[in-house]
Amino acid sequence: MPDGINGANGHYGVLEPENVLDPKHFEGVRRRGASHHGLPLWTYTSKRFFDAEMENLIRPGWNLLEREELVPNPGDFHALTFMNVPLILARGTDRKVRVFANTCPHRGSLIATGKGNCKSFRCPYHSWVFSLEGKLLGAPAFDDANDKPLIDDSNRHEYSLFELPADVWGGFVFMKFRPSPGTLAEHLGALPERLGSHRIEDMVCARRKVYDMKANWKAFVENYSDALHIPNVHRDSLARWHGTRVEEGPAGEDVTATFIAHDEGSMLLLPFPGYDGFPAMDHVRDERKRGTYFVTVRPGMMMTLGNDGALVFNSEPVTPTTSRLTVSSLFPKATVARDDFRQVVENYYRRNEIVVGEDVEISQRQAAGLNSPYARMPRLCKGEVRLNDIHNWILDRVIGAPA
């Protein structure tokens, strides 16, 4: 059996080594420069590596959850499942958006289902009642053997709904599964300022499409930052756009923003007849009026931001070999209010069916091929160098930064 290019351990393909977190497996990824390596292919299939990613990277990190417009008014709530965890998104009487674990502190029942507006949450099992801020308000007949209430003001705080750290930027709600150092503002670096004039907070989601991906969550994230695939996978679609990258300097440690200047129009469409779009937003700063931003917010958020709207991707880990990709089409409220919105927006959706469809298909095709004992250690060229950046960012969090 040839040792191949898999480095010292000689493992082939998705045969995972005994200690998946041993830095020696990642020497090729860490050796940046001329010969870039990608993460070993077993990191896309290994349950143990996936668990380490969840524990060290995903749960303590800022994750895109939803748009805050789902809960516009005090008392609005929306139950959802994110990364297999049932959650409640709710707006309190103080107008603050909160994210709660949707599991009753009594004996675990789901507290809310669906969406709606309420004054408080009542668990249907034994009628414990919680305020919109998560505080326990009542626990009927929850008494000890002497009929004395087991919960009073001295211990009531122990029975609150579990509130997850959450914050909002641009109308996006981000959350952590557990408290950890670092604010959302720190995570986003220069993005809020750089993209500020696009006023993403004034946009609304007009359509959302969810893909249940037969691929590890990293597959689509890498695809989005992979310049090499565009003339191949998008030969007759996105590749027909001609643009010039404008250097703006790094946006932060956890984010990237690449501005591609191009002629009139928007990369949210295709440069063909039949793809008429909405006018550019007046408020975009002049030097960014013509062109499109390609934005990543690690770990799983990506956004193509045109002068007319945004296409937002969220790659959500589900199992080592599956993920959920949510693709949301955002437009300014003023655009959605136009008489011709329903008609013109179809051009954007048709573009997405083609371009996103190509990326979804190729990401799953890659996943199907790498799940082989003969899959090789990936090597990366200039056009894929950003994948090596992503991989090092992941390793810094999953196994720790190199000494």
Residues binding ligand FES (CB under 6 A): 104, 106-109, 123, 125-126, 128
- Please state whether 151 falls in left (phi above 0), alpha (psi between -120 and 50) or beta: beta
Q: Does 76 bind Fe ion (CB under 5 A)?
A: no
The DSSP line for 176-230 is -SS--S--HHHHHTTHHHHTGGG-GGGEEEEEEEEEEESS-HHHHHHHHT-STTH
CB of 136 to ligand FES, least distance (A): 10
CB of 140 to ligand FES, least distance (A): 9
Q: Does 359 bind Fe ion (CB under 5 A)?
A: yes
Q: Does 68 bind Fe ion (CB under 5 A)?
A: no
**Strand order in 129-131's β-sheet?**
120-122, 129-131, 136-138
Q: List the end-to-end C-alpha distance of the chain, in Å, as a whole number.
A: 33
Distances (CA, A) of 205 to 137, 201, 255, 336: 35, 11, 22, 9
What six digits make up the tokens of 317?
Answer: 């880990």
Would you say 139 or 267 has its CB closer to Fe ion? 267
Total number of residues binding Fe ion (CB under 5 A)?
A: 1
- With residues binned 3-state (H G I as helix, E B as strand, rest as coil), the percentages for the chain, rounded to 5, are 30, 25, 45
The DSSP line for 101-151 is ESS-TTT------SEEE-SEEE-TTT--EEETTS-EEE-TT-B-TTS-BS-
Residues 6 or more apart whose CB falls under 8 angstroms from that of 275 comprise: 269, 347, 350, 351
Type of residue numbered 278: F
CB of 121 to ligand FES, least distance (A): 10
Residue 359 binding: pick among ligand FES, Fe ion, none (C-beta 5-8 Å cut-off by kind): Fe ion
Span interacting with Fe ion, options 17-25, 150-158, 274-282, 353-361, rule CB under 5 A:
353-361
CB of 124 to ligand FES, least distance (A): 7
Would you say 151 or 227 has its CB closer to ligand FES? 151
| Peptide bond preceding 299 in cis form (omega within 30 of 0) | yes
Pairing of strands 310-319, 163-164: unpaired
Would you say 59 or 106 has its CB closer to ligand FES? 106
CB of 297 to Fe ion, least distance (A): 18
H helices of 279-340, where? 333-336
Residue 125 binding: pick among ligand FES, Fe ion, none (C-beta 5-8 Å cut-off by kind): ligand FES
| Cβ count within 10 A of residue 300 | 24
Residue 106 binding: pick among ligand FES, Fe ion, none (C-beta 5-8 Å cut-off by kind): ligand FES
CB of 94 to ligand FES, least distance (A): 25
Would you say 104 or 164 has its CB closer to ligand FES? 104
Task: List the beta bridge partners of residue 332.
Answer: 203
Residue 240 binding: pick among ligand FES, Fe ion, none (C-beta 5-8 Å cut-off by kind): none
Q: Please, are residues 23 and 401 in contact by the beta-carbon 8 Å criterion?
A: no
Residue 241 binding: pick among Fe ion, ligand FES, none (C-beta 5-8 Å cut-off by kind): none
CB-closest chain residue to Fe ion: 359
Residue 149 binding: pick among Fe ion, ligand FES, none (C-beta 5-8 Å cut-off by kind): none
Would you say 17 or 243 has its CB closer to Fe ion? 243
Would you say 86 or 171 has its CB closer to ligand FES? 86
CB of 125 to ligand FES, least distance (A): 4
Give the residue among 63, 33, 26, 52 at the shortest CA–CA distance from 397.
Answer: 52
CB of 128 to ligand FES, least distance (A): 4
Would you say 359 or 384 has its CB closer to Fe ion? 359
CB of 103 to ligand FES, least distance (A): 9
Would you say 254 or 359 has its CB closer to Fe ion? 359
Span interacting with Fe ion, options 254-262, 282-290, 299-307, 351-359, rule CB under 5 A:
351-359
Q: Please, are residues 288 and 259 in contact by the beta-carbon 8 Å criterion?
A: yes
Would you say 76 or 359 has its CB closer to Fe ion? 359
CB of 213 to Fe ion, least distance (A): 14
Q: Please, are residues 109 and 150 in contact by the beta-carbon 8 Å criterion?
A: no
Would you say 34 or 141 has its CB closer to ligand FES? 141
Contact residues for Fe ion (CB under 5 A)?
Answer: 359
